[in-house]
Structure 1
Amino acid sequence: MSSYHHNTGLYILRLRQVMERTGLCRSTIYAKLDKTSKLHDPTFPRQIRLGRGAVGWIESEINAWLAECVSSSRAAS
C-alpha cells in the first residue's frame, strides 16, 4: 500500500512497492540511480528522503517512467 501525503496529494511508494510495480530487484533499482553503473538510467525517478534511513518514490513518477518504457518498447517493435 502506498502512503498518501495529505498536504500535497502525493502518493509515496516504498522500495518494496517500487520493486513490485517495476519488476526490478533492489540492486537493479539502485544501479539505475548510480551514475557510475553500467545500468544507470537517467530517466529513472530519483527517490526522496522521508527521514533518517527512509526513502520513497513518487508514485506518479514511477507510473510515468513505466508508461515511457512501454511506449519505447512498442515503438522499437
Structure 2
Amino acid sequence: MNTAQIPDEVEFIKIAEVRRITGLGTSTIYERMLAKQFPSQVKLGPRAVAWVKSEVQAWVKERIGAARPG
C-alpha cells in the first residue's frame, strides 16, 4: 500500500451518507463500484465498511464537470 498518497486526515462515511451526497441508491453505488466507476469502500472490520468522504466528493465534482464542459 502506498501510504504517501493518503492524507493525514481521513473521514469515513457510511452508505447512508454516500447516498445523501451522491443522490444514488445503494444498488447503483455497488454496481458502479464493481464497474470501477465509483470509489471503492474500505473494510473497517469483519462486518463494517465505509467510504473515504474526499473520494466520494471528488467523484461528485467529476460528474458536475462532465455535465458542464467548457
Considering the TM-score relative to the shorter chain, is it more than 0.5?
yes
Matches within 5 A, 1:1-77: 8-34=8-34, 40=35, 42-75=36-69
- Whole-Å separation in 1 of the counterparts to 2:69 and 2:37: 17
The gaps in structure 2 that reach 5 residues or longer are 1-7
Match of 2:4 in 1: none
Higher percent of residues as strand: 1
- Kindly provide the CA deviation profile for residues 5-47 of structure 1, in whole angstroms up to 9, marking residues without a partner as x: xxx411001011101100001111111112xxxxx3x241100
- When the two chains are superposed, the root-mean-square deviation of aligned CA atoms in Å is 1.4
Structure 2 counterpart of 1:44, one-letter code: F
% same residue: 35
**TM-score, normalized by length of structure 2?**
0.82
Higher percent of residues as helix: 2
The gaps in structure 1 that reach 5 residues or longer are 1-7, 35-39
**TM-score, normalized by length of structure 1?**
0.75
- Whole-Å separation in 1 of the counterparts to 2:25 and 2:61: 19
Q: Higher relative contact order at CA 8 Å, sep ≥6: structure 1 or structure 2?
A: 2
Runs of 4+ more than 2 Å apart = none
